[in-house]
Amino acid sequence: MEDVDFRANEGPNEPEETAIEAVGNRLSSHLKGEKKRRYGRFTVAALGSIPWLGGFLSASAAMHAEKDQSRVNEFQRQWVEELQGKIVKLGDTLIQIIERLDGFGDEIRDRLESPDYLALVGKGFRLWDQADTDEKRDLVRKLLSNACATELCPDDLVRLFLDWIDTYHEAHFRVIREVYQQPGITRGQIWDKIGKTRPREDSAEADVYKLLIRDLSTGGVIRQYRQTDGRGNFLKKTSQMSRASSAQTMKSAFDDHEPYELTELGRQFVHYTMNEVVPRIGASDAPSDHSTG
C-alpha cells in the first residue's frame, strides 16, 4: 500500500504546513511495519471517504510552491486555513481508533480487512465529515471502534446507528443519556435535568421538548415503560378512563407520572456509541472501558 502523505511541499513555516506535517508524522509513526499492513485498508477507506481531502492537499502544496505568495488566491488561502483544523481532528480520530484496536489480537484482522466493515468505515467517515459538532464525530469514532472490536452483528444495526447519529442532534442525545442513566424517569424529570425552569405549556420551549420526545419515541429509541410477562410479552395497560375524563387540561409536556425507558435498540445504541471499546452485549471475553456518565 502506498503511504498516505498529508504533508505539503517544503516551504515557509506557515501554520497550515505545520499542522499538516504534524498529522502526517503522527500517522506515519502509528502505521509502521506490521501496523501498516494491519490498518492500511482501514486508513485508505477512511481517507478515501473525505471528498475534499485531495483538493485540500493539492491547494496546500500549491500555496507553498508558489514563490510569489501575493498571487495566491485569497479565497484559496482562507479555505486551506479553515480546513487545517479539521485535518488535525481527522488525524486524531484515526489514531484514537487505531490505538483502541491495538489491544486486540489477530481475531480482528479479518474484520479490519473485510469489505463489509470497510464499507461501514466509508459511511462512518462521510458522516464524520458532515457532522457539525465534535460530539457527533465522537459517537462515530466509538461506533466504528466497537463495530470492529466486538463484531457487532448484524452490520445493518451499525448502519442504523450511523443513521441515528446523522438524524438526531445534541438535544436528542441529552435526553437519551438521561433515560439511560435513570430508567423510569418521567418527562418532567428529564426536563429538570437538562433544562431550566419549566416554561408555559403553550411556549416554543414546550413545543420543542415535545418534538424531541416524539422523535425518539417514533424512532424506536425510547418508549413509555411497559411491564412484561416471563416471556417478554408486553402487558396491556390498565384502563384509566375515569381519571382522563375528569382532567380539565391536556397532559403536560413535562408530565411527572408516566415513566420512560430505552428500547432494546436504544440501549444498544448507547452501549456501542457512548462507550469506548466494550464487550458485545451478552459477551464477557473482550476488553471494556465504559465512558458514559
pLDDT at 225 over 70: yes
pLDDT digits (tens, 9 = 90+) for 147-166: 998 765 689 999 999 999 99
Instruction: Specify the pLDDT at position 284.
Output: 47
- Say how many C-beta atoms besides its own lie within 10 A of residue 234's C-beta: 10
Q: How far apart are CA 31 and CA 95, in angstroms?
A: 9
How confident is the model over 266-286, as a mean pLDDT?
73
| Residue 75 pLDDT class (50, 70, 90 cuts) | low
How confident is the model over 165-175, as a mean pLDDT?
97
Where does residue 232 fall: left (phi above 0), alpha (psi -120 to 50 degrees), or beta otherwise?
Answer: left
Q: How far is CA 202 from CA 99, 196, 209, in A?
A: 50, 16, 11
How confident is the model over 18-23, as a mean pLDDT?
67
pLDDT at 51 over 70: yes
- Say how many C-beta atoms besides its own lie within 10 A of residue 148's C-beta: 23
pLDDT at 115 over 80: yes
pLDDT digits (tens, 9 = 90+) for 226-247: 877 777 777 777 766 555 556 6
pLDDT at 170 over 90: yes
pLDDT at 96 over 60: yes
Q: How far is CA 283 from CA 56, 157, 164, 279, 287, in A?
A: 43, 17, 24, 6, 10
pLDDT at 280 over 80: no
Q: Out of 33-37, 48-52, 207-211, 260-264, which region has the weakest mean confidence (pLDDT)? A: 33-37
| Residue 109 pLDDT class (50, 70, 90 cuts) | confident
Instruction: Specify the pLDDT at position 12.
Output: 45
Instruction: Specify the pLDDT at position 157.
Output: 92
Q: How far apart are CA 100 and CA 184, in angstroms?
A: 33
Phi first, then psi: what are they for 204, rounded to 5°?
-65, -35
Instruction: Specify the pLDDT at position 272.
Output: 92
pTM: 0.79
How confident is the model over 245-273, as a mean pLDDT?
90
How confident is the model over 179-188, as a mean pLDDT?
97
| Residue 17 pLDDT class (50, 70, 90 cuts) | very low
Q: How far apart are CA 132 and CA 129, in angstroms?
A: 8
Instruction: Specify the pLDDT at position 67.
Output: 47
Mean pLDDT across the chain: 81
What does the block give as the cell for 128? Answer: 464524520
* Residue of higher predicted confidence among 155 and 214: 214
- Say how many C-beta atoms besides its own lie within 10 A of residue 29's C-beta: 10
Q: Out of 60-74, 126-140, 177-191, which region has the weakest mean confidence (pLDDT)? A: 60-74
pLDDT at 15 over 80: no
pLDDT at 281 over 80: no
